[in-house]
Amino acid sequence: MPSTAVAPVLPETSATDDQIEGGRMDEPEFTRHARTQMRRRGVSQDQVLVVLASYHTRQPAPTRPPAPEADILVGAVGGRALKVYVERGSNPPLLKTVAWGDE
């Protein structure tokens, strides 16, 4: 029977890729909204760092002018997809919010 495997989606260059030097990423900053959503959704800072270091998908986040553009980085954490919203071009990465993929 022929294989129907789907090729993985590879990440494109993102704002966070620029902060990784020699395997070390700058410590991200969190907005108050991001911290609130992390507590509400039971997401730890370590889980966010895992996604920043090893996300599998990056896509533009919907924007509401005049808010800065952001990217959604999606990675697997404990068998669930975690979406981390990062302000585009921020250095260090500025996390705007987080959400579980199944919410």
- Choose between 44 and 17: higher pLDDT: 44
- Choose between 8 and 64: higher pLDDT: 64
Q: Is the pLDDT of residue 76 over 70?
A: yes
Percent share of the chain, pLDDT over 70: 76
DSSP string, 59-74: EEPP--TTSPPEEEEE
Q: Are 89 and 62 in contact (CB under 8 A)?
A: no
| Terminal-to-terminal C-alpha distance of the chain | 36
- The pLDDT-based confidence of 59 (bands split at 50, 70, 90) is very high
Q: Is the pLDDT of residue 71 over 70?
A: yes
